[in-house]
Amino acid sequence: MKHVNVEQVQKKMGSRLFANTFAKTLFLLATLFGLVVLVVLIYRVIQDGAAWINFDFLTNKLSTDPERAGIMGAILGTLWLMAVVAPVTMVLGVGTAIYLEEYAKKGRIQSIIQTNISNLAGVPSVVFGLLGLTVFARGMELGNVVLAGGLTMALLVLPVVVVSSQEAIRAVPQFLREASFGMGATKWQTVKNVVLPASLPGILTGTILALSRAIGETAPLVVLGIPALLIPLPDSIFDKFTILPVQIYYWTLDSALVAEYTNLAAATILILLIVLFVMNSVAILIRNKFQKRY
Amino acid sequence: MQKSTRQDQHSRPAVSDLIAQKKKNRTVGSTLEKLVPGILFGIAAVSIITTVGILLTLITETVLFFQEVNFFSFFTGTELKPLGQNAVFGVLPLLTGTLISTAIAMLVAIPIGLMTAIYLSEYASEKARRILKPILEILAGIPTIVYGFFAFTFVTPLLRSFIPGLEPTNILSPGLVMGIMIIPMVASLSEDAMSAVPNSMREGALALGSTKLEVTWKVVVPAAISGIIASFVLGISRAIGETMIVTIASGSSKNFTFDITQSMQTMTAYIVEVSGGEAAAGTTLYHSLYAVAMTLFVFTLVMNFIAQYISRRFREEY
């Protein structure tokens, strides 16, 4: 008895193999689509903006005259913003991660916090902007200053820091903790002297990635009411400020009126992309160089 | 003999002193030990407070809004004129804008994202993966404002040379670019799901004489379908909440239309326009921000819950 109809199989073989090759090419083309878009995007930005980047552009203040306009204010504003976001989000993020991984008992409270964090990660950033506007800018009467923007951003990127710190802490092998307990260390001593140092590279990587997300985020700060007007350079966390993406936003919006604003926006995008590239490279470097494998 | 003992007594504290000191240290240590869990719990509670804060601000101001505007006329109104003497608040123009831009984005992101995931998971060599995955990560890391610039200054002019009737600001171009932005998300989540399918299943199908395409389409994709669909739903949620691309490239016309060559406003773009503008606290215009944000929040929350439900409920464990 024949179980396989050889003739039938061979007749279909050609079309099946053709479909296989065709699909493979199609899938490859789909994958390369992303690469093509990336190349076109970067090419366009360089074409529009590279010629406009010079020392004056980096060090001048904002100006309505495109030839004299610079992004010093936006650069300083971004740095001041990070000076608020980095410590706040790190303390909150790492603290939450330690609580969830080392202290919380498996049960209701832990799963509520965990679910809450993953849902918070899905809330649109513009809603965080409204929270910042209502609570920090108007409720606490801070106004649209660095501190209000920084706290809003810190809450926005908090889930990223929590999740990556949790992964880093979870990767610390149990025997290290047991050895520490065996030497008579208490729980907090173990966390402080053993778990945290061992998970530090992972935590730092996650924090840098979270900061690079905050640097590129625009919507919450526009909602907070960052002005498009010329403002003095910020000197403290209680000053009004602008940041690179918001600057790009206003220049792009007005590019229909003043053609050179397109070039200014493109030049600012280049600076922003370079900053992000450096930050991500540092994050990957830390991960590869200092991460111990047990 | 006696001398040396006395010297010892001089250089070292007595045992009783040591014990006393140890006890003192222990009380300092144990107070800290008791305090730390409480402090950490307080820090962990900040995320809960944030959620509560979001809900409270949205709900209180939305309630005020519905005291001024009829609930049904808001959700069935096709006209949105928030400014001026006879302001009319109907959310349908914003809803259609949001849903149409999301639909366009997903028409791009779902097929290309899924095909990318299949290629990376099933076809690509280790070397190809090492090159292609970082490219996707770079695409995922580009700020949305940059995509907005790209849509407005490159994609729209390009499309206008094909489609003569396309307005300078329209919903088509930001929709397409938003789709490109979401490709990496769909691709990497779907790829994770497909990589989790055990090799023995592929080998079984190959041993029966299947081609690679048949293995992928009839074995791997069905086995990973819960993760794949969850990635689509998360992509939709992302598209609904995306702000800067549509704000820049789709303008602020509050048209109630289904014509994708026209300018439309999404819920997110409305929030940016009104809050960045002159809305004084306490006005109906200001309250409308929160009603729209509440609608947006509910939409994305439902999407996220659906994604979590699908991946939990229909996951096949191997």
What are residue B88's phi and psi, to 5 degrees? -120, 130
A27 with B271: Cβ contact below 8 A: no
A103/B41 touch (CB, cutoff 8 Å), yes or no: yes
Determine whether the interchain pair B115/A30 forms a contact, defined as Cβ–Cβ distance below 8 Å: yes
What pLDDT shows up at residue B168? 85
**Which residue, chain included where needed, has tokens 């200054």?**
B153
Which residue, B183, B164, B100, B240, is CA-closest to A127?
B240
pLDDT at B5 over 60: no
A48/B153 touch (CB, cutoff 8 Å), yes or no? yes
**Is the distance from CB of A271 to CB of A53 less than 8 angstroms?**
yes
Number of helical (H) and strand (E) elements in chain A, helices listed first: 12, 0
- Chain A positions touching B50 (Cβ under 8 A) are 120, 131, 155, 158
Could A27 and B276 be called an inter-chain contact, meaning their C-beta atoms sit closer than 8 Å?
Answer: no
Alpha helical stretches, state H, chain B:
2-11, 15-68, 71-76, 92-118, 126-141, 144-150, 156-162, 172-195, 199-207, 212-215, 221-223, 225-241, 244-249, 267-276, 284-313
- The number of angstroms, rounded, from the C-alpha of A186 to the middle of its chain's C-alpha atoms is 36
User: Between chains, do B48 and A112 touch, taking CB under 8 Å as contact?
Assistant: yes
Residues 68-107 of B with CB under 8 A from A: none
Asked if residue B167 lies in contact with residue B258, where contact means CB atoms within 8 angstroms, the answer is no
Residues of B in contact with A113 (CB under 8 A): 44-45, 47-48
Instruction: State which residue of chain A sits closest to B29, comparing Cα positions.
Output: A186
Q: Which residues contact A169 (CB under 8 A, 6 or more apart)?
A: A97, A98, A101, A102, A195, A199, A202, A203
CB pair distance less than 8 Å for A31 and B148: no
Q: For an interface test with A, give the residue of B26, B39, B47 to mutate (most A CBs within 10 A).
A: B47
Chosen from B244, B247, B274, B312 to mutate, greatest number of chain A CBs within 10 A = B244
| Chain A with chain B: Cβ pairs closer than 8 A | 247
Question: Binning pLDDT at 50, 70 and 90, where does residue B316 land?
Answer: low
- How much is the pLDDT for A72? 86
For B168-210, write each residue's pLDDT tens digit. 889 999 999 999 999 999 999 999 999 999 999 999 999 998 9
Interchain contact, B47 vs A96, CB within 8 Å: yes
Superfamily for the A56-290 domain: MetI-like (1.10.3720.10)
**Residue A145: what are its φ and ψ, rounded to 5°?**
-105, 175
B310's CB contacts (< 8 A; 6+ apart) are B226, B229, B230, B233
Distance from CA of B237 to the nearest CA of A (A): 8
Q: Report CA-CA distances (Å) from A48 to A44, A45, A68, A260, B72.
A: 6, 5, 17, 9, 48
Nearest to B156 by CA among B148, B181, A269: B148
Choose the closest CB to B244 out of A187, A249, A265.
A249
Distance from CA of A292 to the nearest CA of B (A): 22
Which of B187, B246, B228, B237 is CA-nearest to residue B316?
A: B228
pLDDT at B1: 43
pLDDT score, position B11: 64
Provide mean pLDDT across the span B228-238: 93
Residues in B closer than 8 angstroms to A138, CB to CB, are 281
Q: What is the DSSP letter of A225?
A: T
Indicate the residue of B47, B211, B213 with minimum beta-carbon distance to A120.
B47
DSSP single-letter state for residue B169: S
Q: Sign of the C-alpha dihedral, residues B168, B172, B177, B181?
A: positive
Q: What is the mean pLDDT of residues B104-110?
A: 96
In angstroms, the CA B77 to CA A227 distance is 32
User: Under DSSP, is residue B81 helix (H, G, I), strand (E, B) or coil?
Assistant: strand
Q: What is the pLDDT of residue A37?
A: 92
Q: What is the DSSP string of A136-188?
A: IIIIS---SBHHHHHHHHHHHHHHHHHHHHHHHHHTS-HHHHHHHHHTT--HH
Residues of chain A with pLDDT under 70: 1-2, 229-230, 292-294
